Amino acid sequence: MSMTTLMNKVKLLILDYSVDQFETELIESCVATEIEKLSLHITHEGSFPKDLFSQGFTHNIHSGSSLSINDSAPFTKQAVELIRWAKHHHLWQMGICYGHQLLALALVGKHAVQASSNGFEAGWRTVHFSKEAQRLFNIQEVEKVWQHHFDEVIQCPEGSEILASNNHSFIQAYINYEQRLLGTQFHPEFDQNKGNAFFRKDRKLLEKNHFNLAEILADGPGFDSRKVVFGFFLNN
């Protein structure tokens, strides 16, 4: 699809659940400036405009967050309602880490998410991509991606296909064409510079959980996830 066709087709809603709103700039930088988009920082039930459902969005992105999916947030009920509405109206939805978990919570139930049994996953971590994912994204079977999470999805919405796994969290990414969902446990919005800047700022938490910051900073991504993953999502 040409960029002109894409721009005419897509109207993007970005829902930023991060506590300090850092996800908005990151995600917007992965999306062509010509694409019509609206970003909302979601902190409470009033963060959702009453006319949101009537604004003609074609794609929704649900961001990551330092919040735990296992704790009810002031906006959880409204976010779940929006996700279910978007599914019913056949809008494409992408969830990143917390957003990925929120999709599972809304469309499967509380039993679909949990605190990771393997604890905190952080750094540029290896993920194994399925043959379908390799075809869709034009990547290798084994790639490194940006990780920073305590919680995980253990059951996808019905009809989903697992795209990526590793030995920490089995569901690292999935696609669901019928329900128009793309979920990633990892964060495709980080490149090496932005990802390592975050890790430097997060030094205390990383060291508290026995991660070696110098080793993390010496590593990096296996592919341009910003271009590949967001490009794929917006072309559907």
Handedness of CA 234, 124, 21, 117 (dihedral sign): positive
- Selected catalytic residue, list 59, 100, 148, 187: 187
- Selected catalytic residue, list 121, 143, 152, 189: 189
Nearest to 165 by CA among 194, 143, 137: 143
Handedness of CA 24, 28, 30, 35 (dihedral sign): positive
Q: DSSP states of 161-183 as a string?
A: EEEEE-SS-S-SEEEETTTTEEE
d(CA 84, CA 93): 10
Read off the tokens for 57.
Answer: 């969005």
Instruction: Show the CA angle centred on residue 150, arms to residues 224 and 219, nearest 5°.
Output: 35
- Selected catalytic residue, list 97, 121, 143, 149: 97
Nearest to 201 by CA among 96, 17, 39, 66: 66
156 is catalytic: no
Catalytic residues: 97, 187, 189
